[in-house]
Amino acid sequence: MSRLTQARWARKAREARKAVDRPDRLDRPNRPYEPNGPDQPDRPNDGSLFVKILVTGGAGFIGSNFIHFLLGPENPRRVDCQVLNLDKLTYAGNLENLVDLPLPENYQFIHGDICDGKLVESLLKVGVEVIVNFAAESHVDRSLYEPDLFIQTNVVGVQVLLHAAMRHKIKKFIQVSTDEVYGSLTPAAPGFREDTPLAPNSPYSASKAAADLLVRSYFKTYGFPAIITRCSNNYGPYQFPEKLIPLFITNALEDKPLPLYGDGLNVRDWIPVEDHCRALHLILEKGREGEIYNIGGEGERTNLEITEMILNILGKPKSLIQYVSDRPGHDRRYAIDFSKVKGDLGWSPCYRLHEGLEQTIRWYIDHEEWWRRIKSGAYRDFYQKHYGERLK
């Protein structure tokens, strides 16, 4: 990164940190979020004119990438897009993820909780047309320690959003769910399909499955225009360094051990976040109400394979790998059959795993300041509690 870019990055990061400290807990709007009023004529429900989008959890990993996508060159309607981002800024929410946004005047941040019904109602009054819900507690390991937090945000929060959205006649609601709701696959089993029975194994995945059932009930009972997406493991820029890939890249860069659970042979299907965002955008525009869409990356690998790829790309020794005790209830294998979204909407992943991983590693090398600040903060307390004994 050039010195100029570095200075700009540092200045924007300082501004973002200041915004978090504002007593009214709202970022300064770049432009008022203009109400379209109750008498706004109905728009055709084909998605083509969806421009006022509420993104919840947009300061996290996938949400922030999605906002970059909405306002970036890949979205032909970006100039008309108005994005409202509602985020509680938990440990995982980081306004620095949004400092370099294209079209910042089309974006507004609201600091708040999706469980706060009054706040959600007040936001929807300003003419939001669609909601894409990313807000969640997302880390399986944390759900083992604090399941109540997961139920609150991932289940109660979704119900609050659904009810307010229904009252305000929102035209489309995308619930960003996960492949983990299907549970675990045996080595030779075919990938999860949309009709694979739900069999969640962790408090995290159980909370996401519960939310999916709530979404389903709102569609069935009230005809509420909801869609559920279930994607496999994402990786890419701005992923909090508690998840496997960013944790291992940053640990390797620091010559620290890479704590591999169990025998290291659990399998995940890896997808670059950019491909996930492209799928979500297509589903937002063309997906059919009441449908579930699985999204996968054709990137099945064991954790050991991923770890070795990271070490190879970085030119670091395998001796950094340290086997540690397994995650309780650890799902053995995930794989996704994404033929539905491919057949119905023409989506497939663009990147191959090695290429995506190289680009991601380059991003973490170029954004050392970003992850070092995270690793030196509250994250450390969790790291100590979770890995302290295991790494002894």
| Residues with a known catalytic role | 179-180, 204
Q: Does 268 bind ligand NAD (CB under 6 A)?
A: no
Contact residue for ligand NAD among 60, 259, 296, 299 (CB under 6 A): 60
Contact residue for ligand NAD among 99, 136, 249, 283 (CB under 6 A): 136
DSSP string over 255-320: T--EEEETTS--EEEEEEHHHHHHHHHHHHHHPPTT-EEEE--S-EEEHHHHHHHHHHHHT--GGG
Residue 52 binds which of ligand DAU, ligand NAD, none (CB < 5-8 A, kind-dependent):
none
Place of tokens 């670059």: 272
Interface with ligand NAD (CB under 6 A), residue total: 30
Q: Does 120 bind ligand DAU (CB under 6 A)?
A: no
Q: How many helices (H) and strands (E) does the chain have?
A: 14, 12
Q: Per-residue x/- marks for ligand NAD, 235-264, CB under 6 A?
A: -----x------------------------
- Could you tell me the smallest distance in angstroms from the CB atom of residue 264 to ligand DAU? 7
- Could you tell me the smallest distance in angstroms from the CB atom of residue 33 to ligand DAU? 29
Query: Pick from 250, 231, 270: which is nearest to 316 by CA?
Result: 250
Q: Does 54 bind ligand NAD (CB under 6 A)?
A: no
Q: How far is CA 10 from CA 16, 91, 113, 254, 265, in A?
A: 10, 20, 28, 22, 40
Residue 93 binds which of ligand NAD, ligand DAU, none (CB < 5-8 A, kind-dependent):
ligand NAD
Query: Pick from 171, 155, 129: which is nearest to 45 by CA?
Result: 171
Per CB under 6 A, contacts with ligand NAD among 175-194 are 176, 178
Q: For residue 79, which amino acid is it?
A: V
> For residues 227 and 186, what is the distance between their CA atoms, to the nearest angstrom?
28
Question: How many whole angstroms from its chain centre is CA 103?
Answer: 21
Binding site for ligand DAU (CB under 6 A): 138-140, 178-180, 232-233, 243-244, 247, 259-261, 266, 268, 303, 327, 334
Binding site for ligand NAD (CB under 6 A): 56-57, 59-63, 86-90, 92-93, 113-115, 134-136, 138, 153, 157, 176, 178, 208, 231, 233-234, 240
